[in-house]
Amino acid sequence: MALFYQHNINASTKVGVWRIEEPESFFLQKVPLKRDVSHPYKRLQHLAGRYLLTELYVDFPLEEIVIADTRKPYLDNEKYHFSISHCGNFAAAIVSATDRVGVDIERVTPRIRQIARKFLNESEQNILSGWELMPGLHLQLSTILWSAKESIFKWHSLGGVDFRKHISLHGPVDMGAREWITLPFVFSKEEDRHLLVKARSFQDLVLAWVASH
Q: What is the pLDDT of residue 207?
A: 98
pLDDT at residue number 34: 66
Domain membership of residue 11 as a residue range:
3-98
pLDDT at 35: 66
- Say if CB 194 and CB 184 are below 8 A apart: yes
E strand or H helix at 26, and its extent? helix 24-28
- Measured distance CA(208)–CA(115) in Å, rounded: 18
Higher pLDDT, 191 or 13: 13
Per-residue pLDDT band at 178 (split at 50, 70, 90): low
Q: Which residue in 57, 75, 54 sits closest to 9, CA to CA?
A: 57
Distance, in Å, from the CA atom of 92 to the CA atom of 50, rounded to the nearest integer, reads: 9
Domain boundary residue, one of 49, 70, 98? 98
User: What φ, ψ does residue 82 adopt, rounded to 5°?
Assistant: -155, 165
164 and 198 part of one domain: yes
pLDDT of residue 180: 87
From first CA to last CA, the distance across the chain in angstroms is: 33
22 and 83 belong to one structural domain: yes
> What is the tally of structural domains in the chain?
2
Closest CA to 142 of 163, 166, 161, 165: 163
The amino acid at residue 121 is N
C-alpha–C-alpha distance, residues 104 and 183, integer Å: 14
% of residues, the chain, pLDDT over 90? 76
Over residues 21-63, the pLDDT tens digits come to 999 999 999 998 766 777 888 999 999 999 999 999 999 999 9
Q: Which of 124, 123, 172, 170 is nearest to 145 (CA)?
A: 124
Q: Which of the listed residues 98, 119, 152 is the one where a domain comes to its end?
A: 98
Q: Is 45 left (phi over 0), alpha (psi -120 to 50) or beta?
A: alpha
Residue that terminates a domain, selected from 48, 77, 98: 98
Is the same domain home to 28 and 69? yes
pTM of the entire predicted model: 0.94
The reply to whether 91 and 112 lie within a common domain is no
pLDDT band at 1 (very low <50, low <70, confident <90, very high): low
Report d(CA 47, CA 26) in Å as an integer: 9
Indicate which CATH number applies to the domain containing 55. Answer: 3.90.470.20
What pLDDT does residue 213 have?
A: 84
Task: Quick: pLDDT tens for 118-170.
Answer: 999 999 999 998 888 889 889 999 999 999 999 999 999 998 999 999 999 99
Gap between the Cα atoms of 176 and 15, Å rounded: 19
pLDDT above 90 (res 179): no
- Element of type H or E holding 49: helix 40-56
Over residues 63-121, the pLDDT tens digits come to 999 988 888 899 998 899 999 999 999 999 999 999 999 999 999 999 999 999 999 99
Would you state the pLDDT for residue 131?
A: 84
The pLDDT of residue 206 is: 97
Alpha helices in 57-203 (DSSP H): 111-119, 122-129, 135-156, 163-166
Q: Which residues contact 34 (CB under 8 A, 6 or more apart)?
A: 65
Report the half-sphere exposure of 104 (CA within 13 A, side-chain side): 22
